[in-house]
Chains A and B, each alone.
Chain A
Amino acid sequence: MSRSQANSSSTRARELSAPERMPRNRRSFLSALLALGSVCVGVLLSVPLIRFALFPLLRRTTELKESPVGPMTEFLNLSIPVLRNIQIEQVDGWRKAVSEKAVYVTKDSRGQLLVLSSVCPHLGCTVPWDAVKGTFICPCHGAVYAPDGTRVSGPSLRGMDSLETNIQDDQLMVRFQYFRQLVADKEVMG
């Protein structure tokens, strides 16, 4: 509202007489004050609305949670890779999806614990551990990987993918992710 001048009231006989009405400069001051007040209140009221709408910017609304693999004590004296089924919780706004994935807990060349995704980086088959041969052998196209997941032979362009791990309260935690197949470098997908 930006009314700047008073009404020309003299032409209307039935309107209130001049002294009862506000002087011109007071009315324009009032208009400015009203405009300012309305803008201020409007801005104030829009704060919760903006915060509400921008919630996905301020917080995570989609999240892949870390999954527990098992207590650390189980993996300390590991000699061969062990298979573990982990539950992956994917939060998507107000809902969540829980799925199960197989991972291998193994050790790298320096003896550090390593968690490998069982998804073959070649074309996505689940890679089983062949205890007799002491290697991972993919049943689909015969890719072969060493116990620490490094590529030995076959069509794959890289070794098996290691996953981000973390230790919480003596529990081995892992963040399961999918990686792009058929490429030499590990690239996280979506």
Chain B
Amino acid sequence: MDLTNRNGRENSDVPRTGVRAWLNRRTGLDDLLRASLDEPIPGGARFAYIFGSGLLFIFLSQIITGVFLALYYVPSADHAHTTVVYITKAVTAGSFLRSLHSYGSSAMVVVLLLHLSQTYLYGAYKGRREILWISGCALFGLVLGMAFTGYLLPWDQRAYFATAVGTNAIGEIPGIGESLTRLVRGGTEMGTLTVSRFFVAHVFLIPAFIFALVASHIFLFRKAGAAGPISEDPYNPKQKTEPFYPRQVMMDLSLTALLIAGLGVLAFFAPVPLGPAADPANAQYVPRPEWYYLPIFQWLKYWHGAVSVIGILVIPMILVIAVVALPFLDRSIERRPWKRPVAMGAYVFVIVALVGLGLRSEYQDQHDPGVAKQLALQKTEENDFMRKPFEPELSSGSLAAANVSLADPLAAKGKTIFEAQSCNACHGGGGIGTAAAPALVGISAKFTSDQLVELFAHPTAKMIAGGMPKVDLPPDDLKTLIAYIESLK
């Protein structure tokens, strides 16, 4: 690679000798850095342009915290909650990292809305930026998908019921709705397959698409060029440019610093709570989604019966198509907001509608005594649960689990005799059998109690040859031992 940058001009900054020059000849890193930092911004740097790199920073932070959380997380219905409790209560800095990841998802939605609003209000989707805009829309959808799939993973009450409602809503789509819900859930009900599916989507699928789309979004952005201020021509920029570095970089970094400080302070002083494990049998639980899904949640309340297809499918589809196709629908090169009454009206309408729906949902919750009481109770349960110390999960092969089947006290006592007489040395713990002697599990189907007493007193030749001694016990102990052996099923 030669020592010129993309614009073809020789670059005095790129070293010609030494290790760095060699590294640049081999990798082109300096040229790449130069090309990134010299990105020309028509009209100069502005604080209005900081949101894109803010999003990139949050995405990076989500990847890092997410990878670390996966060190301890297990995606299965019977372990997910325990492992998240472990992260939150036992692992050093676990609550902090989990909170960073959780608040990070909210921050992502906020900054995304700011980035989208800036692009929309500045008319920065105009000119040769149709595909750039569409890739941004796709990224918006993917980020919402990340939020939706990630929300279930802790598998606490809140996560479980919010996702149950969310996946139920998919079922309202006429025709394919039910099949779609089953596909998403991995069955008719929410369960361990749902956790696996959401985990795969959250950790493998959606991030892969986001990586690809972020790369193309940035590529398309550089290809089209920065849109600049509202006074700039979207096709043929005429204003003086300023390179991205240093002033725009500094402005972008100020948002990053603000995000780091904000998320750090929140995660440290107000860690994200975790509720008790999901209990699908809890019929009282009042599910509420995360704040950014509240408007949709409220919207769905208004549509029932035959007309529901309009509210659940038709109107959202029209909205999505209108947003995605915006650069094709709005071909004018006018960028000043006061000259775009339709665009501005639509923006204000959508924002007011979303905020209004969200507030309406809050209002209804607070003014329905039953719901308000239940929500307060859920909050208390969550707080109580957070105060309890971490309790390790009992593994399934454990004695306590095995002893549940020993409900008969006689059988439980017989177990001590079984072990004291070293029966387990050859027949194995719990009579599961070893290489030395056969299993005793299910033996009650073959022999009656009396036959067993007889065998203990007079073992067969085959038994003696195998090393089975005569069992010489007081009658009561023998009875107890047999009760245990017969309980082995």
Contact = CB atoms under 8 A, between A and B. Distances in A.
B68 A30 contact: no
Interface string B28-57: 000001000110100010000000000000
Interface in A107-150: 124-128, 138-140
Contact of A140 (B96, B393, B394, B425): B425
B214 interface: no
Contact of A16 (B86, B242, B257, B393): B242
Interface stretch (A85-93, A151-159, A165-173): A85-93
Nearest to A102: B419
Contact of B13 (A3, A17, A54, A87): A3
Contacts of A17: 240
A55 B92 contact: yes
A22 B44 CA distance: 13
A16 B241 contact: yes
B469 A139 contact: yes
A91 B392 contact: yes
A5 B96 contact: no
B43 to A, nearest CB: 10
A12 B420 CA distance: 93
Interface in B237-267: 240-243, 245-246, 249-250, 253, 257, 260
B341 interface: no
Interface string B68-93: 10011000000100110110001111
Contacts of A34: 246, 249-250, 253
Nearest to B74: A94
Contact of B422 (A11, A59, A139): A139
Given A5-B12, A5-B13, A98-B398, A126 B92 contact: no
Contacts of A4: 13
Interface residues of B, number: 57
A77 interface: no
Nearest to B253: A34
A15 interface: yes
Chain A interface residue bracket vs B:
35 or more
B91 A52 contact: yes
B64 A96 contact: no
Pick the most buried of B37, B395, B469: most chain A CB atoms within 10 A of its CB: B395
Contacts of B426: 125, 140
B260 A45 contact: yes
13 contacts: A3-B245, A12-B241, A20-B242, A48-B97, A52-B94, A53-B71, A93-B86, A94-B79, A94-B390, A95-B82, A99-B399, A126-B419, A140-B425
Interface of A: 1, 3-8, 11-12, 14-17, 20-22, 27, 30-31, 34, 41, 45, 47-49, 51-55, 58-59, 83, 85, 87, 91-100, 102, 124-128, 138-140
Given A3-B13, A8-B9, 10 more contacts: A6-B13, A49-B64, A52-B71, A91-B392, A92-B392, A94-B83, A96-B398, A97-B398, A124-B425, A140-B425
Interface of B: 7, 9-13, 33, 37-38, 40, 44, 64-65, 68, 71-72, 79, 82-83, 85-86, 90-94, 96-97, 240-243, 245-246, 249-250, 253, 257, 260, 390, 392-395, 397-400, 416, 419-422, 424-426, 469
